Structure 1
């Protein structure tokens, strides 16, 4: 049985956790605001996402009143 290669870091860090804390919001509240599952937001928050749809990025930025550059930074 072949082993899967370890995931390499993408070089992008999602600041979702920090932005939620600054706005006193929970992941559950954001989930309700943007219509995404907590699981999908958690994947993004924990830097495990491999991609993000522009529509999702816009929805999160609208809910958090931020820009994509506030949410996603080069690590």
Structure 2
């Protein structure tokens, strides 16, 4: 799937841990980890809204669409 989750990038920019974000958003670290790893199949808008409020960012800062070629290159580098 060519949707990339850049949650780790935003956490680093805000100097915030996954644990702190989990506590502030009110969801488990396990669920945030699934999202961060890109393995999540869906995200509730209410969860995305809370994450954006806490990280002071836009949804597009967290979710990014890549074409198949660029996605394959990115996945190949992981």
Indicate the TM-score class for this superposition, using the shorter chain for normalisation.
0.7 to 0.9
Distance 1:68 1:62 in 2: 10
How far apart are 1:11 and its partner, in Å? 1.1
Secondary structure of the residue aligned to 1:66 is coil
How does the TM-score come out when normalised to structure 2?
A: 0.82
* Aligned pairs for 1:15-34 within 5 A: 15-34=6-25
Runs of at least 4 residues off by over 6 Å: none
Highest Rg: 1 or 2? Answer: 1
Q: How many residues align?
A: 66
Distance 2:61 2:14 in 1: 13
How does the TM-score come out when normalised to structure 1?
A: 0.85
Tell me, which stretches of 5 or more residues in structure 1 are unaligned? Answer: 1-9
Greater fraction of residues in helix: 2
